[in-house]
Structure formats: C-alpha cells, structure tokens
A and B are shown apart, each in its own frame.
Chain A
C-alpha cells in the first residue's frame, strides 16, 4: 500500500505541477461545471438533476477520462510504465496509481460542485444511493475506457483525438437525458454510456427508481445494466489489448 501511495502521490504532485494538465483536468471542468449551475434557468424541469448529471459527466469525461488516457499514453511513450513494472508494484497497482490522482481530483471537483449547488438551492436527492451508483459506475466506466483508449492511441498527441468519441457520447448523453424523456426508445438508448449515467442521476433526484415506464420496464434497469456492462466490456478489452510499450 505504501508503494501505491508513493507513486499515486508523485503523480498527483506532477498533475498539479503540469500547467497543461492542470488547465485541462482541473480548471476547465470546474469552470464548465459552475457554468451549468449558473446558466440553467430555474424554469427548466428537474433543473438540479440536469445540473448534477451534466457536472458528473463533465468531470468523468474531462477530469478523469481524457486526463487518465493522456497520462497513460504519455507514461507509456516515455517507457515509464515499463520502469514501474520493474518495481514490486503489481501491474494493476501501476495502472491504478498512475491514474488515481485523476480520480481524486475528479471527486474533489464533484464535492466543490455539490457545495456550490446546495448553497444555490439544490435539493438533496431522494435516492442518494442511486447517485453514488451513478458515480461509481461512471468512474469504473471511464477508467476502464481510458485503458482501452490508451491501447489504441500510439502517441500522447493522438490520445486527445482518440478520447473524443467517448467524450462526446458522455457529454451529449448527459445533455440528452431531459430531451429524451418522451422518446419511446428511451429504454434502449439508456444503455449508452452517457445516457445511463445521466438517467441514474436523474432518477436519484426524482426517486422514481423502480416505477415502470416504457413497456413496463423501470428505466433504472437498463441504466444500471449499462453501468455494469460497459466497465465489464472495457475491462475485458483492456486486459486483452493494453500494451505496456508503445508500438515501434
């Protein structure tokens, strides 16, 4: 555990020291998150559920997913991951310690948003456990997705491009949750990564977790399935595809 903390602590220091990483991984998501708090009018139905859903997606996409992917690729590019493998850290410890600071910073940002949102009038979710599930499932999803994306991206500059598709899916999905409320295909669309996180977040605020909706299926079912399915799919792909060295 001490070794893990030593490496994770070093990575955290370096994230804060690196101006580019600090701007893209810390300040930008914070700015966007606060923008949601201030810019979404009170007339919007389920305003705070929508704000929370968007803030969660921004943090997951920008602070965790993009930052973790970029870091994994750049560490691999510099052969640093290979170096850490020569220590007594396990392979899983090397990877989680490398990206742990991104998770810590993401959680810190969410705490900041929660404080600001509550002080701005946000009501406490009716099903806080569902909110925790959305957060944990989302974190697992983007962490495993970062490993898969890092397997595809051959260089740090390409990591920025490789993360775009899932980033859009997460952000657009979270935005679309409110719009999709009347779409019959909602249950199917909820299986998509961004929509599933947004749906569970919204259900946490409404408390209607298990009330039957389209076709008698509670929306929580496909959303929760997605929160388990995607990390599993990404995890299996990462286990098969992740490379410790860049392709030569």
Chain B
C-alpha cells in the first residue's frame, strides 16, 4: 500500500524510536533521502546506524515514529519492499561452503530481479575466484561478493552497512565505482561508513549520528560551512601581543622554530589578508603557511566529543 508521501523521497523518517529491551538505540531521528542520491550515515559505534538501517529494511520493528521506504511502511510491507532493496551487512552473511558462482546463481533464484552472474563476477573482479568456496575467500573478496549480491539486478534502493570495511584501497575504489553506477542508473543508496573520506567522496548528503540521535545533517558544504576554516604558520621572533587583531580565534604556542600560530575563522579571506599584510609590513617570514576550509573530520570529532555548539548549522 502506497501512502501519500513526497514522491521525490526514497526514504522518509520522522521521530523514529527503537529499543532493545530498556536500551533505546534510536532516539527520535528525522531523516530524508531523495531518490537517486547517495546518503551516508556516519557515527560512532553504537550510534544507532545499523538499527536505523534494519528498521528501514523491515528487519526490526520500530517502537515509535513514521517510516516510509519507497513510499511503503516497512513494518507492514516488508516482503514487497525487500523485492526492491539490496543489502550488505557488516558481517559477510555468506554460506561458507558455496562457491562464488554457486552463491550468485542461488541468489538469482531467490530474488525476482534479473541479472547475470558473469556480469557481477567481472564487475567485482571475482571471475578468477568463481569456483572458490566463499569461506576460503579473503576478507576483501568476501566483501566484494557481498556487494555483488546487494547490487544484483540493480535494485531501486541499496542499503549498505559499512560496505568497504576491510577492503584494500583498490577494492574500495571499485566499490565506490559500483555505488556510483547505481546512482547513474537512477537508484538510491543509503550507506553507513566509518571512513570520512568515503562519505566525502561519495555522498550527496550525509548525517552524523551519536547516541541514537542525528547530531548534524545536510550536504557536505552545508555541514562544514558552519565550521570555521583554519590557517596556520610558524613565525620566528614574535610574541602573542604583537599579532594583528583578527576576527577568528587565535592559538599561539611557542615551539622550537618560533611561534606556531593557528587561527580558526569564519572569515578566512579577511583574516588571512590581514595576517599576510601584517607579516609583509613587519618583514617576518611565515614558515609552513597553510590555509584550509573546515573538514568533515572536525565536525565528526566535535560530535563525538559532544560539542553541539561546534556542529550546529
């Protein structure tokens, strides 16, 4: 049964709550994922990411809140919904005794979506391992087989729980390409990851969860926009009192080579111009001068360290 929800949304979640006994793993989250986008859910261990994915897949019943996945309530339509979803789990979830090819062939019989094992063997570079039992594959190969099952038949929505954990850089790049191909085909991807660079590279939008709540969400640009940019340099022969007056927060620390100056500012251009002008006027040398916009890892660490003032958009 399709309910009246925004047709542009693949996932819509309002005030979702989920408990295990007395422990509340998800504590009232709101989440929207648009059709055709890659959405990354980041967070510390135990933040509630996997529970959220399991509720969306209809594997875990919610205790409160509204959830729509592809317009359907997963609690009431899990079997219909699963025909349109692809999944990877944190653990391999493969029959160790079946070979790679047998696994793919069996999968083809268990789901309605049509695909060819040979295509996926080639796509995930498993052709040479087709006759090897899944239990004898390396961790990376198992993960690639897991991904192959998730994208079998190009499902409308693919839910990936830490899909690249344990992969080497090359395999991770392949996985990223495969995920990118899904959105090129108009499909939606919701993924969790511990790799911030993965979220930065892949996600159209992302959210960071902490202790069952979403601490911050939006596009990468939106999330880091509220965070100050930084610039830094080492300057010999000055004291803190001699520094120019800047709009940002200045950190001054004496080191062997002189004074390490680091500035956090929301007005990077103005403060950097002021600082460079001050250095030129005094004729001081700025060693190791670096300027950088805010990065996702700073927001992530602020969330982890529970500094909501640093992550508020």
Contact = CB atoms under 8 A, between A and B. Distances in A.
Interface of A: 2-3, 6-7, 10, 14, 17-18, 78-80, 82-90, 244
B93 interface: yes
B185 to A, nearest CB: 20
Nearest to A94: B110
14 contacts: A3-B109, A3-B110, A7-B106, A7-B110, A14-B95, A14-B97, A17-B97, A78-B93, A78-B94, A80-B95, A83-B89, A85-B59, A86-B82, A89-B110
Contacts of B59: 82, 85, 244
A91 B9 CA distance: 28
A79 B92 contact: yes
Contacts of A18: 97
A21 to B, nearest CB: 10
B303 interface: no
Contact of B110 (A82, A88, A244): A88
B95 A6 contact: no
B245 interface: no
Nearest to B85: A86
B89 A10 contact: no
Contacts of B96: 78
Nearest to A86: B87
B286 interface: no
B92 A6 contact: no
Interface string B83-106: 101110101111111100010001
Interface in B98-135: 98, 102, 106-107, 109-112
Contacts of A6: 106, 109-110
Contact of B94 (A2, A83, A86, A89): A83
Contacts of B102: 10
Contacts of A78: 91-96
B290 to A, nearest CB: 43
B192 to A, nearest CB: 16
A87 B97 CA distance: 20
B57 interface: yes
Nearest to A3: B110
Given A18-B97, A90-B79, A84 B92 contact: no
Nearest to B150: A86
Contacts of B94: 78, 80, 83
Contacts of A89: 110
A244 B93 CA distance: 12
B91 A87 contact: no
Interface of B is mostly: loop
Interface of B: 57, 59, 79, 82-83, 85-87, 89, 91-98, 102, 106-107, 109-112, 149
A133 to B, nearest CB: 34
Contacts of A17: 97
Given A18-B97, A86-B87, 10 more contacts: A14-B95, A78-B91, A78-B95, A80-B94, A85-B82, A86-B86, A87-B110, A88-B79, A88-B110, A244-B59
A88 B93 contact: no
Q: What 4 pairs between A and B have smallest CB-CB spacing?
A: A79-B93, A6-B109, A83-B93, A87-B110
A83 B92 CA distance: 9
A79 B89 contact: yes
A89 B83 CA distance: 10
Nearest to A87: B110
Given A14-B98, A84-B110, A88-B112, A79 B91 contact: yes
A88 B83 contact: yes
Contacts of A14: 95, 97-98
Interface centre among A82, A90, A244 (most CB of B within 10 A): A82
A10 B95 contact: yes
B303 to A, nearest CB: 24
Nearest to A85: B59
A87 B155 CA distance: 12
B83 A2 contact: no
Contacts of B87: 83, 86
Contacts of B86: 86
B154 to A, nearest CB: 15
Nearest to B109: A6
A89 B57 CA distance: 14
B109 A2 contact: yes
Contacts of A90: 79
A10 B97 CA distance: 10
Contacts of B107: 87
Contacts of A79: 89, 91-93
A33 B96 CA distance: 32
